[in-house]
A and B are shown apart, each in its own frame.
Chain A
Amino acid sequence: MISSFLHPLTLGISLNFSLEPLWHDTGIPLALMGMFIVFFALIFISMFISRLPHIMAVLDKYLPQAEQLLNPPKPREGEISDEVIAVIAAAVSEALGKPHRIIHTRELTSRDMAWPQQGRWQIQTSHIPQK
């Protein structure tokens, strides 16, 4: 019963250490070839990236950038532009003075304005002018 309970834990590690497999084709030669290909591919990519600004200059000359790439689409009605979101984030940061996370922003509609209007109305009617 106990031996069957312990069955999967009967671990015995027998290390067969040998340097012999290193000299096969699937040993050191493969490791060197692998490192060579990895380096070669990434060096090639690195060289391509460093030439990219020059390639861009040629491309811009013969294939001007599409309007869409030069001028990112304007936000649709009801959406807020990235610049305005950045300004809101800065304002919230300044007002709170502590780490914060803006989860959602949207443009106020006339329906949303009911509360500010109600607030203004209350402020403006909170005192009776002296006659």
Chain B
Amino acid sequence: MEFVEYLSSKAAQLYQTTAFPGMHVGNVAMIVIGLLFVYLAIAKHYEPLLLIPIGFGIVVGNIPVVEGMSLGVYDEGSVLRYLYFGVEKGVYPPLIFLGIGAMTDFSTMLSNPKLVLLGAAAQVGVFLTFLGALCLGFTPQEAGAVGIIGGADGPTAIFLSSKLAPSLLGAIAIAAYSYMALVPVIQPPIMYLLTSREERLIKMKRPRHVSRRERIIFPIAAFLICTLLAPGALVLIGMLFFGNLLKECTVTERLANTARTVFIDIVTILLGFCVGCSTSADHFLQPTSILIFVLGAVSFAVATGGGILFAKFMNLFLHEPINPLLGAAGVSAVPDSARVVHVIGLNEDPQNHLLMHAMAPNVAGVIGSAIAAGVLWSQLAM
């Protein structure tokens, strides 16, 4: 009898050292969401480079830790805590921008400067959502971090929320990356709703040749213009154009190659995984998270609509009209929104290839959202 009691007490002791006692329905729900992300990435090819690290990170972050053990991202001294430092302090996003810069070809933008304005117009989603979040009771700092989801730029959203609203970082990052993955689902209905068939059929003029020297001068000049006007964007914009200069100057090919391949891959893995790990149910399953997701969707839709409507507005004054679909590429989900524009254009006319033209507002959107983040940070961090 004593032996049975001994065994049962040991079994109970063993049970207490497992993750089961701390497992709540919220953790189970989050693990299911994480596995859904992994499924969507593998089976549907929705942004696999992001959704696999984030999805698996969500699963990892929702395994309850045993009391007294330092394991999760919120536990001082844990390994995950050290990795999460890069997210919490906004270290990873600028490093990602370096890689993006080394990948980005600005030549389509340089060949058609008026398309740059579409990248500015799409930022209306950021500021209208900022106002909407204020009305719903968010603090100005939180509202700024939520609004930037409309920039459709994951690293920028993480950077700004780490500076303005660290407590919302997980929800904002997941919302931003989810909507970026859902660009092919969210944007087309808005594009069809706001454009006529005749407008979608507009063909763009072939871009002019851009010399190497122009491509070298541009990142330096654009960096100076942006950061002198919005110094808050210094880190993001600086890294973006530094990466681009490495690519274009032709004498640092090794550095550019590293920045756009291994380097950005490592940072993406760390960023995605750590963001996923930060979504433990007790931190993530809050009423504000649902509001952030709703506002994020609104922000994204408004940004898409803003770009399209501004392109139509520009057409009132232009001799050579712009295909308004290009406005949808003003959100900086590179290159997904440009690809969506291309596909919608091809649906109407198989000879109308818009991809290269759409890359212009797309990369302008990256610059625009970084400037918007810089403005919000400089005004709200005080």
Known: A33-B375, A35-B124, A42-B367. A48 touches B222 (CB 8 A): yes
Q: Which of B67-75, B108-116, B198-206, B337-345 contacts A (4 or more CB under 8 A)?
A: B108-116
Using CB atoms, name the residue of chain A closest to B222: A45
Asked if residues A46 and B137 are in contact (CB atoms below 8 Å), the reply is: no
| Contacts known (A31-B127, A46-B116, A69-B212); A38 close to B222, Cβ less than 8 A | no
Which residues of the partner chain A approach B230 to less than 8 Å between Cβ atoms?
37, 41
Given that A38-B368, A49-B218 are known contacts, is A31 also in contact with B131, CB under 8 Å in the complex? Answer: yes
Q: Nearest Cβ in chain A — how far from B265, in angstroms? A: 19
Q: Is B25 in contact with A8, judged by CB distance below 8 angstroms?
A: yes
Asked if A8 contacts B137 (CB within 8 A), the reply is no
> Which range contains the number of B residues in contact with the other chain?
35 or more
Residue of A nearest to B119 (CB): A42
Q: How far is the CB of A88 from chain B (nearest CB, A)?
A: 22
Known contacts A8-B25, A41-B225; decide if A35 and B116 are in contact (CB<8 Å).
no
Interface residues of B in 104-130 (CB under 8 A from A): 109-110, 113-114, 116-117, 119-121, 123-124, 126-128, 130
Interface check A87, CB cutoff 8 A: no
Q: Which residues of B contact A45 (CB under 8 A)?
A: 113, 116, 222, 225-226, 364, 367
Spot the interface stretch: A21-29, A77-85, A100-108, A112-120: A21-29
Q: Which of A13, A24, A40 contacts B229 (CB 8 A)?
A: A40
A18 to B130, CA, bound (A): 14
A44 to B26, CA, bound (A): 49
Total A-B residue contacts, Cβ distance less than 8 Å: 154
A91 at interface (Cβ–Cβ under 8 A)? no
Would you call B368 and A11 a contact (CB within 8 A)? no
How distant is A45 from chain B, measured CB to nearest CB, in Å? 5
A68 lies within 8 A of chain B by Cβ: yes
Q: Is the interface of A mostly helix, strand, loop or mixed?
A: helix
Q: How far is the CB of A67 from chain B (nearest CB, A)?
A: 12
B161 at the A interface (CB under 8 A):
no
* In the complex, A17 has a CB within 8 A of chain B: yes
For residue B217, CB closer than 8 A to chain A, the reply is yes
**B375 contact set on A, CB distance < 8 A:** 33-34, 37-38
Complex partner residue of A47 from B24, B113, B250, B367, CB under 8 angstroms: B113
CB pair B291–A13 under 8 Å, yes or no, is: yes
Nearest to B129 among chain A residues (CB) is A31
The answer for the CA separation of A53 and B136 in the assembled complex, in Å, is 48
Given contacts A5-B24, A13-B290, A42-B368, contact A31 B137 (CB under 8 A): no
Taken together as a complex, chains A and B put the C-alpha atoms of A67 and B137 apart, in Å, by 61
A65 at the interface (CB under 8 A from B): yes
Whether B218 and A31, one on each chain, are in contact in the complex, defined by CB atoms closer than 8 angstroms, is no
Report yes or no: A15 in contact with B137, Cβ–Cβ below 8 A: yes
- Indicate which residue in B26, B117, B128, B131 contacts A43 across the interface (CB closer than 8 Å): B117
Task: Indicate whether A9 reaches chain B with its CB closer than 8 angstroms.
Answer: yes
Is A14 within 8 A of B116, CB to CB? no
Residues of A within 8 A of B (CB): 4-9, 11-19, 21-22, 24, 26-28, 30-35, 37-50, 52-53, 55-56, 59-60, 65, 68-69, 72
Q: Which 3 A-B pairs have the closest CB atoms?
A: A8-B26, A26-B140, A49-B113
A–B Cβ pairs within 8 angstroms, 13 of them: A8-B282, A9-B281, A11-B286, A16-B137, A22-B131, A22-B134, A30-B376, A31-B131, A34-B376, A41-B368, A42-B120, A69-B212, A69-B213
